[in-house]
Amino acid sequence: GENVEQHPSTLSVQEGDSAVIKCTYSDSASNYFPWYKQELGKRPQLIIDIRSNVGEKKDQRIAVTLNKTAKHFSLHITETQPEDSAVYFCAAPNTGFQKLVFGTGTRLLVSP
Amino acid sequence: EADIYQTPRYLVIGTGKKITLECSQTMGHDKMYWYQQDPGMELHLIHYSYGVNSTEKGDLSSESTVSRIRTEHFPLTLESARPSHTSQYLCASSLRTSGARGETQYFGPGTRLLVL
Identify whether the C-beta of residue B78 lies closer than 8 Å to the C-beta of residue B16: no
Confidence bin at B1 (pLDDT 50/70/90)? low
Closest residue by Cα to residue A31 from A83, A91, A106: A91
Query: CB atoms < 10 A from the CB of B45, how many?
Result: 22
Quote the mean pLDDT of chain A: 93
Per-residue pLDDT at B101 exceeds 70: no
Amino acid (1-letter code) at residue B19: I
Interface with chain A: mutation pick from B43, B89, B91, highest number of A CBs within 10 Å: B43
Total residue count of chain A as it appears in this document: 112
Helix, strand or coil, per DSSP, at residue B28: coil
Distance from the A33 Cα atom to the nearest Cα atom in chain B, whole angstroms: 8
Identify whether the C-beta of residue A53 lies closer than 8 Å to the C-beta of residue A65: no
> C-alpha B41: how far from its chain's center?
17
Q: Which of B43, B48, B102 sits opposite A31 (nearest CB)?
A: B102
Query: CB atoms < 10 A from the CB of B29, how many?
Result: 22
Residues B62-91: what's their mean pLDDT? Answer: 95
Q: Which of B102, B106, B107 sits opposite A93 (nearest CB)?
A: B102
A7-55 per-position pLDDT tens digit: 999 999 999 999 999 999 998 888 889 999 999 999 999 999 998 888 8
Amino acid (1-letter code) at residue A45: Q
Q: Does B43 touch chain A if contact means CB atoms closer than 8 Å? A: yes
Please give the Cα distance from A109 to A84 (Å, whole number). 8
Mind giving me the DSSP string for A3-53? -EEEE-SEEEEETT--EEEEEEES-TT--EEEEEEE-TTS--EEEEEEETT
**What single-letter DSSP state applies at residue B66?**
E
Please give the Cα distance from B21 to A91 (Å, whole number). 25
Beta partners for residue A7, in sequence order: A22
Total residue count of chain B as it appears in this document: 116
Those residues whose C-beta lies under 8 Å from the C-beta of residue B18, and which sit 6 or more positions away, are B77, B78, B79, B80, B81
B28-75 per-position pLDDT tens digit: 899 999 999 998 899 999 999 989 999 999 888 778 999 999 999 999
Query: CB atoms < 10 A from the CB of B17, how many?
Result: 14
Q: Which of A32, A45, A102 sits opposite B102 (nearest CB)?
A: A32
Shortest CA distance from B58: residue in chain A: A99
**What single-letter DSSP state applies at residue A71?**
T
Least confident of A14-23, A103-112, B15-24, B61-70: B61-70
Q: CA torsion, points A109, B36, A33, B73, in degrees to nearest 10?
A: -130
